[in-house]
Amino acid sequence: MVKKSGLTIIEMIVALVSGIVIILTVGYILYYSNKTYRREEKIMELKREAVFGVRFIERKIREKKPEQIEIQESGRKLIIKK
């Protein structure tokens, strides 16, 4: 009896499908991880801007201490009354 070496067509198909499934799974994980990272990065940027705005307003209030405070920047106005 002669033993044949090599792969059958079924083995090739199973290996190919397994490889594709692994590649798609890794791609899916990388895609959604990147998407989540970008979303969190945007949220952090908004939080930084909010903190900057609050600190700016706080600094203006501490500088003046009048009955009414007006802050105007970029054509926008904020009026704070005691």
* Residue 31, in any domain of the structure: yes
* Residue 33, in any domain of the structure: yes
What is the pLDDT confidence band of residue 78, given thresholds at 50, 70 and 90? confident
* Residue 78, in any domain of the structure: no
State CA 80 to chain mean position distance.
34
What is the pLDDT confidence band of residue 82, given thresholds at 50, 70 and 90? low
Which pLDDT belongs to residue 65?
67
Distances (CA, A) of 24 to 3, 12, 27, 32, 36: 36, 18, 5, 12, 18
* Residue 38, in any domain of the structure: yes
* Residue 22, in any domain of the structure: yes
Q: How many domains does the chain have?
A: 1
pLDDT tens per residue, range 51-76: 998 998 888 777 776 666 677 777 78
% of the chain surpassing 90 pLDDT: 52
Range of the domain at 29: 9-42
* Residue 74, in any domain of the structure: no
What is the pLDDT confidence band of residue 19, given thresholds at 50, 70 and 90? very high
* Residue 28, in any domain of the structure: yes
Q: How far apart are CA 35 and CA 41, in angstroms?
A: 10
* Residue 76, in any domain of the structure: no
* Token pair belonging to 78: 């904020």
